[in-house]
Amino acid sequence: MLTVDIDTGGTMTDALVSNGVLRHSFKVDTTPHDYTVSFTHCLTEAAKALDFPDVETFLREVGIIRWSSTITTNVLAERRGAKVGLLVDKGHEKDLYGQGVSRVVGEIVDDSNIIGLSQNPSPTEVLAAVKELLEGGVRRICICLKDSFPDNARERRIKEIIEDQYPDHIIGAVPVLLGSEMVALRHDQTRVHYSLMNAYTHNQLANSLFKAEDILRDDYRWNGPLLVGHTNGGVARIGKTKAVDTIESGPVFGVFGGAHMAQAYQLANAVCFDVGGTTTKCSIVKNQAPVFQRGGELMETPVQSSFAMLRSAAVGEARLRTSRTGLCRWGRRAWGPPRGQPAMA
């Protein structure tokens, strides 16, 4: 039985087909207008190279497909996501529970689409805020209240008010997302930032994933599992995946691949580079394991979650330099430690 791994980057889409002993690699141009086109091109090239008459016949021998990508990363970097609205506690419309003005204000969410609510808002206050957001063209609403994890009763109450007025079976319904359900952390700002990034990137990722699943099932009669690569290095079904789970999932798999090779060659430490047509990634393997950090930036958005350390530079636009720590750092960063802090302890 074969396995298929596909990684969609900004310029090229790569595939690896293996039977557990032999491995075959393929490369096609990425098709940003529709990522499923390059996805299916990989399957077509694999079927040809392995002497199958067509993709459908090839897929009969495939037990699993895993798909990693930089789709959400590119949406965030290019600022071409959905128009998002945000409900927070009154007085925190700018800081979003952090210090100073949050970096996402005016970037991922317009300041005009952030509305502060009183501690115990009435249905009239909530619905007036929603009406204002919808009239401003908002398509997804995040509710991120202070101290709402693990007890998210206040957020759930506001969601119930909205969904009672805008049930999901009517055309005017709008998805309502709770910060407490996006990431299980007490850090208020992290919940806000994750919620906004998820709402902002959801549509483009979901459209690609569900279309790919439909193509596999309807066009090629394949009903095996299509698993999506996650930032933590694992995979999950589409139904168990949030858009924010997939940020830089392709490059992160390279970090784990680098750790595997370090073990194979008995190297304690290694610097890993992933040079693509759009960006160059750099990561660190220490003691034969990926270096993780608690807190830093995902696409220049501060968060206090744990993830593999990874840096990204736009090739041809950003100047490469080496810091005193020996870790490569660039002027334009995708994610890493907060500004002003050392890359490694």
Give the tens place of pLDDT for each residue, 191-237: 999 999 999 999 999 999 999 999 999 999 999 999 999 998 899 99
d(CA 264, CA 259): 9
Share of the chain above pLDDT 70, in %: 90
Query: Contacts for 102-107 with beta carbons within 8 Å, 24 or more apart?
Result: 102/189, 102/192, 102/193, 103/300, 103/301, 103/302, 104/192, 104/193, 104/196, 104/197, 104/301, 107/79
Q: In the prediction, which pLDDT does 313 show? A: 73
Backbone angles phi, psi at 178, to 5 degrees: -100, 135
User: What mean pLDDT comes out for the span 66-70?
Assistant: 93
What's the pLDDT band for 327 if we cut at 50, 70, 90? very low
Amino acid identity for residue 309 in this structure: M
pTM above 0.95, yes or no: no
Tell me: pLDDT of 320 over 50.
no
CB 45 within 8 A of CB 221: no
Q: In the prediction, which pLDDT does 298 show? A: 80
Give exposure, 66-101, as e/b (b: 16+ Cβ within 10 Å): bbbbbbbbbbbbeeebbebbbbbbeebbebbbbeee
Using the structure block, give the residue that is written with the tokens 């529970």: 97
CB 49 within 8 A of CB 42: no
What's the pLDDT band for 314 if we cut at 50, 70, 90? low
Find the radius of gyration of the CA atoms of the chain. 22
Amino acid identity for residue 99 in this structure: Q
Choice between 343 and 130, residue whose per-residue pLDDT is larger: 130
CB 70 within 8 A of CB 8: yes
Tell me: pLDDT of 340 over 60.
no
How crowded is the C-beta side of 1, counted as CA atoms within 13 Å? 6
Amino acid identity for residue 50 in this structure: L
Strands 310-314 and 279-286: antiparallel
186: tokens are: 């007490």
d(CA 92, CA 100): 10
**Helical (H) or strand (E) element with 89:** strand 84-89
CB 148 within 8 A of CB 192: no
Q: Is the peptide bond before 338 cis (omega within 30 degrees of 0)?
A: no
| Strand partners of residue 64 | 3
